[in-house]
Amino acid sequence: MDHEPDSAMNIRFDGKAAVVTGGAMGIGAATAKKLCKLGASVAILDRNADAAQAMVHTLVNEGHTASFQVCDVAVESDVRRAFDAVMQRYGDLHVLVSNAGIQRYGDVVGTSPEIWDETFNVHVKGCFHATKFAIPAMLASGGGAVVVVSSVQGFTAMANSAAYVAAKHALLGITRSIALDFAQQNIRANCVCPGTIDTPMLHRSAERTGSPQKVIDSCSRMHAMGRIGRTEEVANAIAFLASDCASFITGTTLVVDGGLLIPTGGMAFQKIGIDTGDEG
Ligand SMILES: NC(=O)c1ccc[n+]([C@@H]2O[C@H](COP(=O)([O-])OP(=O)(O)OC[C@H]3O[C@@H](n4cnc5c(N)ncnc54)[C@H](O)[C@@H]3O)[C@@H](O)[C@H]2O)c1
């Protein structure tokens, strides 16, 4: 029973090193913090140097082992250099959380080729680059776990978000390919699909509308639980999938959405109900 954790759900990462892309803010920052608290040494790869530095400063002050590399995940040479630096610093790599992402809007007619490419370069190529360099490092470390952050928009679509929706769908495919190709080399790959989460990305999107609170309130109503999610709630799911407690789980998706995907026709439709006519 080699893989049986000591107690039923003892999630720990002592002696393990993890990379979190987009770890300076939002879901990535909460994940970096969670993995640190569970004993991992964490490297944040983020293009926002100031935010990454501030996050690492906080983690180190709390007594954790953390570092950052300024890196645009869309640029292969940046990612290669960042992983080289992480391996030099920590010697091993066991966990990759591929999380860096941007939100862009437009239907296919209104989306410029530049916005399409930018969206795919960050989400899809960024994940390709991160896994391309993480997996050899994990193999050299005896195995590891990849967790890719997609979205409920990996299965469904929001209006006016064609490039984002397509990119999030693509991440499910990358995850399944990695899971299959490396299953027998002790590498697992899974996807987390969040609903609406309270992050800087959400607030930036809400502010575009001119009435941000209205947007947040209507997002809350979309979820069966009646609220949006907290970054820590996604970080918990990521930590579980990255841990030995998920040792027989690979190639799957874990939806973390407060019930967003449950109601046929959406929550508003559920509230109105189905007009059954006069049954008398
Ligand atoms: N917030 C939500 O409601 C929500 C829902 C579903 C999925 N997601 C996904 O979760 C992930 C994190 O989202 P968030 O809401 O925390 O976003 P956020 O904007 O709050 O934080 C994203 C982080 O990624 C970094 N980043 C962006 N582009 C990068 C690049 N090219 N290279 C390196 N770093 C880069 C940013 O600097 C930032 O630190 C994204 O992939 C997003 O699509 C978010």
214-249 pLDDT, tens digit per residue, is 999 999 999 999 999 999 999 999 999 999 999 999
Q: Ligand 1 in contact with 100 (CB < 6 A)?
A: yes
pLDDT at 277 over 70: no
pLDDT value for 280 = 44
**Which of 21, 27, 98 best tests ligand 1's pocket when mutated (most atoms within 8 Å of CB)?**
27
Q: Ligand 1 in contact with 69 (CB < 6 A)?
A: no
pLDDT at 121 over 80: yes
CATH architecture of 17-197+230-260: 3-Layer(aba) Sandwich (3.40)
Confidence of residue 272 (pLDDT cuts 50, 70, 90): confident
Q: Ligand 1 in contact with 22 (CB < 6 A)?
A: yes
Instruction: Specify the residue with its C-alpha closest to ligand 1, atom 32.
Output: 72
If you average pLDDT over every residue of the chain, what do you get?
95
Q: Ligand 1 in contact with 258 (CB < 6 A)?
A: no
pLDDT value for 271 = 82
Among the options 13, 68, 120, 164, which is catalytic?
164
* Mean pLDDT of the 169-198 span: 98
Report the chain's terminal Cα–Cα distance, integer Å. Answer: 63
Residues near 223 by beta carbon (within 8 Å), at least 6 away in sequence: 195, 196, 229, 257, 258, 259, 260, 267
Instruction: Specify the residue with its C-alpha closest to ligand 1, atom 36.
Output: 22
56-97 pLDDT, tens digit per residue, is 999 999 999 999 999 999 999 999 999 999 999 999 999 999
pLDDT value for 278 = 53
Domain limits, the chain? 17-197+230-260
CA of 7 to the centre of ligand 1 (A): 33
Verdict on whether the full-model pTM lies above 0.85: yes
pLDDT value for 1 = 44
Instruction: Specify the residue with its C-alpha closest to ligand 1, atom 24.
Output: 22
Q: Which parts of the chain fold into alpha helices (H)? A: 26-37, 49-61, 76-90, 113-120, 126-140, 162-181, 200-207, 212-222, 231-242, 266-272
19-39 pLDDT, tens digit per residue, is 999 999 999 999 999 999 999
